[in-house]
Structure 1
Amino acid sequence: MEDIDEMGTKVELYVYDLTKGAAAMMSQILIGRHLDGVWHTAIVAYGREYFFGPSGIQSIRPGSTELGEPLRVEKIGDTFLPYSVFLEYINGLGTSKFAPGTYHLLRLNCNSFSDEVSNFLVGCGIPKYILDLPEEILKTPIGQALAPLIETLANSASAGFTVGQRFVEPRIQREVSPEYQLLNTAIEEARLNSIALEARRNELNEKLAKKERKKKKKKKEKRDKISRESGSESNSTGYSNSVSMADSEVAEMQPTNGDVAAEMLPSDRVLQMEADERREAEERKRQRDPPIVFKDSMDVAVEFEAFCNLLEGKLNDTERINLDELRQYVLENEGSWALGDNFLNFIGRILYDKSLVADVRVKLLNILAIAALKDDVILLLHQDRREHTIMNYAFDIDRHTVEEQLPLAQFMANMFENLSSSEWLLYISDWQHNNQNISNIRVTTKVAVHSLLSESSDLQVRGVAIIHNIACKEVKTVVFDDVVVELTMALLQYFNGNPSEEYLYASMKALARFAQISGQEVPQLIQMIGPEPNKFRGVSKRVDEMIDESCINHRNIVSEFITTDNQMSSKDTLENGNHVEEIVGKKKLRVQYLIERHIPIVKWLPKYSRFYAISDIIAGITLGLTMIPQSIAYAALAGLTPQYGLYSSYIGGFIYVLFGTIKEVSIGATSLMSLVTIEYTRDMPVDFVVLLTFLAGCVELTMGIMNLGFLVDFISIPVTSGFTSATSIIIIISQLPGLVGLRIRSESMVDRIRQLQITNGMPAITDNTSFLLQKLKDIDCSWVKHKNLRVGCFLEKTLWFLSISRNAIIVFIASSITYTYYQSGNSLFLTAGTVKPGVPKFKPPPFSTQFGNVTYTFKDMCSHLGTGIIIVPLVAVLTNVAIAKAFVRDGPVEATQEMLTLGMCNIAGGFVSSMPTCGAFTRSAVGNASGIQTPMAGIYSGIMALLALSYLTPYFGFIPRATLSAVLMSAVIFLIDWKIIKVLWKGSKRDMFAACSTFFISLFVNVESGLLFGTFANALFLLYLSARPSIEVSTVLGDKYVIVMPEIGLFYPAVAYLSNKITQIARKEAKGIYPVVVDFQRLQGIDYTAAQGIEKLLNSFENKTQLLIFLNVNPSVISSISTMTAAKNFKPINNENDLAEILSETDKKSTKSLIMPTFKELTEKTILPERSSIDTIKNDYSTSEEQESLLINNVNNKELELTAINVNNK
């Protein structure tokens, strides 16, 4: 019998709220019943936290889940069972009732497990309010309506749900030996007798397990690396692999007779393993590829002095201490122990305090970049794991100035100097930042990609360094699973800029490593996207080696095989069977890539978790509360009855969840689309609106199929801002009649202003109330948090909820007042009118209609809609892309896919009597603030719209028109962008002209004319830049030549301008003598006219005997010039070494041209040479026979003249 301590072991229940307090605020409104939370529970006993999930029974350190600290801790009781008994009991549950895959969201969940274990340990279960929660929710009307969806989520939960904790590795069931029981009895006695010993034991065991797992993974990586290098494929089965690994583990765990380490204490084993790890780390550091770092780029003493001067008088006592700690660390080379626990608070204050000048942050980042080279910087980084101050700032690199981005990227590159800090940069544990799940590897990737694709050459150098360091770091392959594609695409885009040999080599080396790590994924991307790496073959020997090492050229073999496939004999086909398999694999990858690109749900749905589902449900319901009153108001703005706005609010969300790419986009009626729609359907029946919706969808779908997404790029942000601001003002003025009782009927804004006649000045209470409610979310609740954190958080979330649901609150209150007056027989307000109840029938759009006594055919309806068939879809796509650019931070904007998706949404909308739809700025902002995770939120907001159509339409008739006007005005007034005028006035007068012209033409003429004029003005600016490219000119005195660098591509509008400029530079700057070097490094393309212009320029320089050299010419440009011209004297060079050789060969001739007259001058009588020097002149000037004859005749004539003069003188 085991001796059991009389005190027992404490058993606690950790209770978490999965909604983080949202259920307490919103449950009464959403389901009609108050809920304190949606509970997740775990049992804490024997120093561990145990809970149940789709992956089975899991255990972690208490309180270390991603859910944070538990909301409450309830003591269940004390247990007197030995730990060994409990362990066997848990193992039994893990293979039976609570085995992996048995999890069910409603019937067998974490709370069921907690109740089961609690009864076993202490004889009583967990509180009843936790166990009864699912049944309580399902009893509500909305719970019953959503029951099938919840059941679907419950059945699919085990496919991919994790809370993010570290799981216990599966145990191998084996017979318990007596020695094992004795050992556990001894451990149990020691643990129960001393709490300190128990904590130490757990710490050491956890550390040992971590070391063992790391060692096994390293061995596996080493085996994988050897197998890849040898090129042999493993034929062993899964059984043999598992047996061999098990044997190796047993061999490691069972020591030999003379093995002393087996008898070591756990602490001694840890010390020995740490020493072995240090030796292994040193060996890896010696053998690894050296990282690219920046050690001597600045003087840290100078930077620190400037940093202190900028902060003089701006720090408190604590911050001054932190500043002194930084000085000790970077200037006096003290260890990181000199940095206090609150040092990261000081760093965060400098980085995020916008009252400080930007130069302060630049100096701090420069200092940190130098500190990153120290071997103990990892201790500073581990402090950052609590608040993620540095990494959050780095993730927002695209929001900082270029001056701040440069030292930030240098800091990330220098972190790869040491193994520990470089491994820290590649951690995959994630956290939340701006409603996004990010991790260290994601932050590092974003900084690398942003820097590499920046317009700053210095920042590009840092980006190359970071990507090279990432690729050459020996890490687990799984680290690159999510980022290797993004890094590869960035490298491929960088290659289009013709980098120099040094950075090309580093980039190609990184690409080769990515190709080895990812298998077929990276070569497939190169094949589909390009450019072909063989384009750079011949740049240098080491670049060629990297191209060969990456095995990228293998795709050329596959291509050749495809082209000759029909000509192969059966024997050749058998010999090339491996090529066939690879071709099939590449085709499958191609198909998979296309499916994921055009049906994005296929990519993110397998990763859909319960956390995502709960977040999307909350965001979807919040969007529904915003969308329903807005849709009713937008329908009124388009001249339609309220139900048509709701018809537009559900079908788009259902389709966008399948094909949409931006999670924040909420498809439905918008103020902008309503305004544009009424421009073409005013005073016409609703059939015209429905047909316009269908035709707009057809146009959008056609544009998407033709890959015309790039057209949206020609509409700049200033034009979009001017267009949006003008339409917002038009909407506000159009809503004044409904708001304050104005009698206005006119089609233009000018006429509306002229006809202002106030007849019934109704107070704009609803409008002012809406504005006030919107500002509630801006109230600072920090002073309440300091006094009571829970009350402060609750108050902050309540104000936020009231702010985002302001429209629903206003509509509900105003409708209730109207209904009350209606019941008493009074009609105080003008209402929205009767609303047709029910969901619309699914029917084809009307291709003909009758209005009054006139019948309109399809041709007549299209003729009446006119340019609206093009303008409406263009505005819709522009809006969606603008939303994407506003919210997408770490990826490209797929304009073509948005066209396809919007097309399908509007085509489907034509079958349910919808008005034209697109994304809405206001709803997208609400979704982003609500924590939306995927487009699935559109399903829930669409369900709310359907419920409103089914049950609430009788009450929509009581909504006052003044309320709808207030909803519209409060939604669009914040879209007026006044700040951009000041920015454009200081930064770009051209963009200001485009924005202002778009604004005023849209405001005083019509919106489509304003948009077209602004786009046309931007296009003219682009043509002007193409015709007048800027040219950099510099004179190199050492080698005595002039270098000319055109900024952009050379096409026909710029040929004459560029030729004249180069000729002028050759005459003035080069003085007609020095060579002129034209650097085509930034030149990416050329056309026929430009090629002919280069040929004429070469001939002109050749006639003047002045040297014209072309440097860094793109291979495609060389090919174009060779094909389209007959210029034999066009000899481009690729690097500056060849340039130096050419200049050295011509140096003598250039020197002689400075001190000797030209041959033409020699033939003049004033400076004719003596007869004795004629042979020397022929050698120096390489004269032809004709020139030699002319020179001799002139000399003879001069001698005769001199003889005659002498005779006369005598």
Structure 2
Amino acid sequence: MSNRITDALPVTDMELPADAHSHEHPENLPYVHKVGVPPKQNLFTEFKTTFKETFMHDDPLRSFKDQSNSKKLLLGLQAVFPILDWGRSYSLSKFRGDLIAGLTIASLCIPQDIGYSKLANLAPQYGLYSSFVPPLIYAAMGSSRDIAIGPVAVVSLLLGTLIQDEFDPVKQKLDYQRLAFTATFFAGLTQFALGFFRLGFLIDFLSHAAVVGFMGGTAITIALQQLKGLLGIKKFTKKTDIVSVMRSVWTSVHHGWNWETVVIGVAFLAFLLLAKYIGKKNKKLFWVSAIAPLISVIISTFFVYITHAEKKGVQIVNKIEKGINPSSVHEIFFTGENLGKGFRIGVVAGMIALTEAVAIARTFAAMKDYHIDGNREMVALGTMNVIGSMTSCYVATGSFSRSAVNYMAGCNTAVSNIVMSLVVLLTLEVITPLFKYTPNAILASIIISAVVGLIDINAMLLIWKIDKFDFIACMGAFFGVVFVSVEIGLLIAVAISFAKILLQVTRPRTAVLGKVPRTNVYRNIQQYPEAAKVPGILIVRVDSAIYFSNSNYIRERILRWLSDEEEQLKENGELKSKIHYLIVEMSPVTDIDTSGIHALEELHNSLRKRDIQLVLANPGPVVADKLHASDFTSLIGEDNIFLTVADAVITFAPKMQP
């Protein structure tokens, strides 16, 4: 094999097939190009290049090159705290938009936070705590302009479900809270580590289809859990599956429901859904759906207060602790058996929170056409949750509903999060006593109206149209959450996502190629039925890297293609049209390992017994280098490796002419 990039060998007119003849000048003759081998790198350079492409593909240090030490320090601080960068150009006009957006999402987050804390089986103030400290940290460290930080329904339910398996939230309240803070600490640590070590690609193993199914199933589970507050049921199952919940609802229909609570809950749920519909129908009226929850809380609280409905069985929030976040450093389990429990729950919650936040940030960044640094986002989210765990917060992340409101309200920067945080601070210091008479039914209504948007029917239908295996993953996660539990649904989502990856890796696609008429292009004959096979030559394309996991399958599949082709020739009575050459198109083969090369050697030996020559077309630089290093090129002959399939056909087709 040549060490140059390409060697061009002119082909004489006698060597060309009939449709490739040139009757003009010699310079118009086609060329057969030999595949070149890239220059050999030393071991350190090769390792450095591979490491950079894998983990540092965005070259985060490029801005530090050729800079003074003071400039490097400033750039380093700006990399950690982006607010130091965009803050220099911040203006009053931008603040107006951020102020309006911050006040709008604050009106939405306060009632939601109180409700979500109940989902997590924590006292109402912990939801407010989690919308005070984390947004301030994120505003300084995050790179998204639109994401709104705080507790979310999915993570709240996940934490509540996993932690109550370890401690009873009522009888073991203190231990339950401590485990929640511990889980939050490790959730933040997981997120920080993924970003710091640039391992954010791990969250991509949870496919979009699995996330859609998981979110949809979780939304239904959350809505079913709110039937307790919506109907005023006091004794309710701790299980989350639909069968247990519906059984608990119907067995209490005659003695457990409170009609006053039902009236309040259903009436305000209808109001909230109507407001959401209006906001969705007319984008200019987004503020209607944004302030509807707070209006519902105010009206219902006032109504309960003046009628003393709590004495008639209407369950209310009762006391919310006044004041800002107390320290919880001493409450985190850093030793003992609960450390392991907190780590396990935290990793799961942290990954789900990270997946949701990064997806939201990327969505709005694409809409506004600006760049999101995924690893920086993870570091910011991780830092805010680690600090949050030490200030009585539980896992916070990006909220889609609040982020959408933030975007539509005209936010310009993360200052909207700061405004929201300051409003929450004011609420904690002054307003919390006013929530004493807020009925639980209103919180249930707010949560139900918020999670309805997580059920994306259109996305599920699109997944069905595009990829049936993806749809299985989607439905597996969906039904796992709805009929078993949140953690089982998550496990199914991860398992099916990994199964799809393994299936694609171990069973890659291969295709037989034919020549598209009036061109020198060779394409899949199933995609292009008019593409003609070349007599005496079988052309196969491998659409994957060749590794130990699939090398035997690829070898056997190619031999099966060959057997099928020979059988078809016999059936058509074309005994003279025996296959003499097998061309393997390798342009999609991005890499090959020793098992792959061994499989090619076995394929070569099998073909020799049938008097068939193995030919390779267009191996990439990595593959070409490894084929050369293993002496495989010497085994099949360097003259049997070509730049394109067309070059190979031009070379071998005339040799089979009588």
What TM-score, normalized by structure 1, do the two folds share?
0.43
Give 1:601 shift. Answer: 3.0
Deviations 1:394-415 (A, max 9, x none): xxxxxxxxxxxxxxxxxxxxxx
Amino acid at match of 1:985: W
Deviations 1:114-169 (A, max 9, x none): xxxxxxxxxxxxxxxxxxxxxxxxxxxxxxxxxxxxxxxxxxxxxxxxxxxxxxxx
Contact 1:673 1:872 in 2 (8 A): yes
Counterpart pick for 1:818 among 304, 329, 344: 304
Q: Which residue of 2 aligns with 1:1002?
A: 481
Q: Does 1:934 align with 2:419?
A: no
Deviations 1:367-404 (A, max 9, x none): xxxxxxxxxxxxxxxxxxxxxxxxxxxxxxxxxxxxxx
Q: Which residue of 2 aligns with 1:874?
A: 351
Distance, in Å, in 1 between the alignment partners of 2:216 and 2:631 is: 51
User: 1:492-511 alignment to 2 at 5 Å?
Assistant: none
Distance, in Å, in 1 between the alignment partners of 2:69 and 2:623 is: 32
Q: Which residue of 1 aligns with 2:140?
A: 658
Contact 1:680 1:865 in 2 (8 A): no
Deviations 1:544-595 (A, max 9, x none): xxxxxxxxxxxxxxxxxxxxxxxxxxxxxxxxxxxxxx97449999988776
Q: Given the superposition, is the C-alpha separation of residues 1033 and 736 from structure 1 closer, same or farther in structure 2, using an over 3 Å criterion?
A: same
Contact 2:185 2:346 in 1 (8 A): no
Counterpart pick for 1:1094 among 600, 615, 623: 600
Q: Which residue of 2 aligns with 1:771?
A: 273
Query: SS state of the match for residue 538, structure 2?
Result: strand
Deviations 1:89-114 (A, max 9, x none): xxxxxxxxxxxxxxxxxxxxxxxxxx
Deviations 1:516-560 (A, max 9, x none): xxxxxxxxxx999669xxxxxxxxxxxxxxxxxxxxxxxxxxxxx
Amino acid at match of 1:719: A
Amino acid at match of 2:331: P
Query: SS state of the match for residue 1014, structure 1?
Result: helix
Contact 2:597 2:632 in 1 (8 A): no
Q: Which residue of 1 aligns with 2:547?
A: 1051
Q: Which residue of 1 aligns with 2:4?
A: none
Q: Given the superposition, is the C-alpha separation of residues 1006 and 1111 from structure 1 closer, same or farther in structure 2, using an over 3 Å criterion?
A: same
Q: Which residue of 1 aligns with 2:453?
A: 974
Amino acid at match of 1:712: I
Counterpart pick for 1:678 among 145, 160, 170: 160
Quote the sequence identity (%): 26
Aligned length, in residue pairs:
551
Q: Given the superposition, is the C-alpha separation of residues 603 and 1114 from structure 1 closer, same or farther in structure 2, using an over 3 Å criterion?
A: farther
Contact 2:513 2:533 in 1 (8 A): no
Contact 2:286 2:408 in 1 (8 A): no
Q: Which residue of 2 aligns with 1:729?
A: 220
Query: SS state of the match for residue 1108, structure 1?
Result: strand
Q: Does 1:883 align with 2:360?
A: yes
Amino acid at match of 1:768: A
Q: Given the superposition, is the C-alpha separation of residues 699 and 866 from structure 1 closer, same or farther in structure 2, using an over 3 Å criterion?
A: closer
Contact 2:157 2:222 in 1 (8 A): yes
User: 1:28-177 alignment to 2 at 5 Å?
Assistant: none
Counterpart pick for 2:643 among 1110, 1135, 1149: 1135
Give 1:724 shift. Answer: 0.9
Q: Given the superposition, is the C-alpha separation of residues 606 and 1124 from structure 1 closer, same or farther in structure 2, using an over 3 Å criterion?
A: farther
Contact 1:984 1:991 in 2 (8 A): yes
Give 1:947 shift. Answer: 0.7
Distance, in Å, in 2 between the alignment partners of 1:1139 and 1:1028 is: 27
Q: Considering only aligned residues, what root-mean-square deviation do their CA atoms show, in Å?
A: 3.1
Q: Does 1:954 align with 2:433?
A: yes
Counterpart pick for 2:186 among 675, 687, 695: 695
Distance, in Å, in 1 between the alignment partners of 2:651 and 2:189 is: 65
Q: Which residue of 2 aligns with 1:102?
A: none
Distance, in Å, in 1 between the alignment partners of 2:651 and 2:245 is: 79
Distance, in Å, in 1 between the alignment partners of 2:70 and 2:609 is: 59
Q: Which residue of 2 aligns with 1:858?
A: 335
Structure having the higher Rg:
1
Query: SS state of the match for residue 1052, structure 1?
Result: coil
Q: Does 1:616 align with 2:616?
A: no
Give 1:1104 shift. Answer: 4.3
Q: Which residue of 1 aligns with 2:471?
A: 992
Amino acid at match of 2:299: I
Give 1:743 shift. Answer: 3.5
Distance, in Å, in 2 between the alignment partners of 1:677 and 1:843 is: 18
Contact 1:818 1:827 in 2 (8 A): no
User: 1:288-687 alignment to 2 at 5 Å?
Assistant: 584-585=66-67, 598-682=80-164, 683=168, 684-685=172-173, 686-687=177-178
Q: Which residue of 1 aligns with 2:36?
A: none
Contact 2:127 2:393 in 1 (8 A): yes
Distance, in Å, in 1 between the alignment partners of 2:289 and 2:133 is: 27
Contact 2:546 2:591 in 1 (8 A): yes
Q: Does 1:1020 align with 2:499?
A: yes
Distance, in Å, in 2 between the alignment partners of 1:1111 and 1:591 is: 50
Give 1:821 shift. Answer: 3.4
User: 1:901-916 alignment to 2 at 5 Å?
Assistant: 901-916=380-395
Q: Which residue of 1 aligns with 2:518?
A: none
User: 1:825-836 alignment to 2 at 5 Å?
Assistant: 829-836=314-321
Contact 1:1091 1:1125 in 2 (8 A): no
Amino acid at match of 1:739: L
Deviations 1:830-876 (A, max 9, x none): 2101111111234524135xxxxxxxx83232355473132111111
Amino acid at match of 1:821: T
User: 1:130-279 alignment to 2 at 5 Å?
Assistant: none
Query: SS state of the match for residue 419, structure 2?
Result: helix
Query: SS state of the match for residue 511, structure 2?
Result: strand
What TM-score, normalized by structure 2, do the two folds share?
0.77
Distance, in Å, in 2 between the alignment partners of 1:778 and 1:668 is: 22
Amino acid at match of 1:636: K
Q: Which residue of 2 aligns with 1:1042?
A: 538
Query: SS state of the match for residue 742, structure 1?
Result: coil
Contact 2:314 2:439 in 1 (8 A): yes
Distance, in Å, in 2 between the alignment partners of 1:858 and 1:715 is: 31
For structure 1, the 5+ residue unaligned runs are 1-500, 502-525, 532-581, 781-795, 849-856, 1156-1210
Query: SS state of the match for residue 550, structure 2?
Result: helix
Query: SS state of the match for residue 336, structure 2?
Result: helix
Distance, in Å, in 1 between the alignment partners of 2:106 and 2:142 is: 18
Query: SS state of the match for residue 867, structure 1?
Result: helix
Contact 2:214 2:477 in 1 (8 A): yes
Amino acid at match of 2:558: I
Q: Which residue of 2 aligns with 1:1061?
A: 557
Q: Does 1:802 align with 2:288?
A: yes
Q: Given the superposition, is the C-alpha separation of residues 893 and 993 from structure 1 closer, same or farther in structure 2, using an over 3 Å criterion?
A: farther
Distance, in Å, in 2 between the alignment partners of 1:639 and 1:983 is: 36
Counterpart pick for 1:1118 among 614, 617, 624: 624
Contact 1:845 1:913 in 2 (8 A): no
Q: Given the superposition, is the C-alpha separation of residues 847 and 592 from structure 1 closer, same or farther in structure 2, using an over 3 Å criterion?
A: closer
Give 1:1125 shift. Answer: 5.1
Distance, in Å, in 2 between the alignment partners of 1:978 and 1:1093 is: 45
Q: Given the superposition, is the C-alpha separation of residues 588 and 993 from structure 1 closer, same or farther in structure 2, using an over 3 Å criterion?
A: farther
Give 1:607 shift. Answer: 3.4
Contact 1:1073 1:1150 in 2 (8 A): no
Give 1:803 shift. Answer: 2.3
Q: Given the superposition, is the C-alpha separation of residues 677 and 705 from structure 1 closer, same or farther in structure 2, using an over 3 Å criterion?
A: same
Q: Given the superposition, is the C-alpha separation of residues 940 and 583 from structure 1 closer, same or farther in structure 2, using an over 3 Å criterion?
A: closer
Distance, in Å, in 2 between the alignment partners of 1:1038 and 1:835 is: 77
Give 1:733 shift. Answer: 1.3
Q: Which residue of 1 aligns with 2:573?
A: none
Query: SS state of the match for residue 1076, structure 1?
Result: strand
Q: Which residue of 1 aligns with 2:521?
A: none
